[in-house]
Amino acid sequence: MSETAKATARSSIRECESHLKWIQRARMALRDRFPLGIDAMRTLEDRDVELLDQMIYRFTKMQDSLARRFLPSSYSLLEGSTDPVPFLDILNRLASLGVLPSVELWQFFRNLRNNLAHDDPESEEQTVATLNQLNERMPEFIALFETARDAISNRLE
């Protein structure tokens, strides 16, 4: 088993757990604000905007770390290969092994991440809908990470 893949997976898990801690804190502080409406979004206090920004930033960073580091290193650990493989093949294999619940769920969160990263400030309705979706579906994202982390952790010892 590649020591580099192990080190990358360990590092990514620590990074994701840090992001997750801040996501959960922000969600807890914002729990009374959701679901957001357009009028509520327009009148958010500065502290609430900061918390929303924190939740978005940490979700985006966590999703990126999973995509760039954790999932490819997990694939390498499970397959015993460091050969380059298309990311969709990695997702399909990890889903078939039960590391990921499904490729479709992963892609949903990737699309949500992309919507947040390329948000059009002119489209308040879309922003509110995306933020509501992020908050509502966050438990699924957390479960996706925890399932993947737990499936790989025993191979890192």
Taking only the tens place, the pLDDT of each residue in 7-52 is: 999 999 999 999 999 999 999 999 999 999 999 999 999 999 999 9
Domain ranges of the chain: 3-156
Domain formed by 3-156, architecture: Up-down Bundle (1.20)
Taking only the tens place, the pLDDT of each residue in 97-137 is: 999 999 999 999 999 999 988 866 668 899 999 999 999 99
- Return the structure tokens found at 110: 């990737």
Contact between 63 and 109 (Cβ < 8 Å) = yes
For residue 154, give every residue at least 6 positions away whose Cβ sits within 8 Å of its Cβ, in sequence order, or none: none
Specify the pLDDT at position 47: 97
- Which class for 66: exposed (0-12), middle (13-18), buried (19 or more C-beta within 10 A)? buried
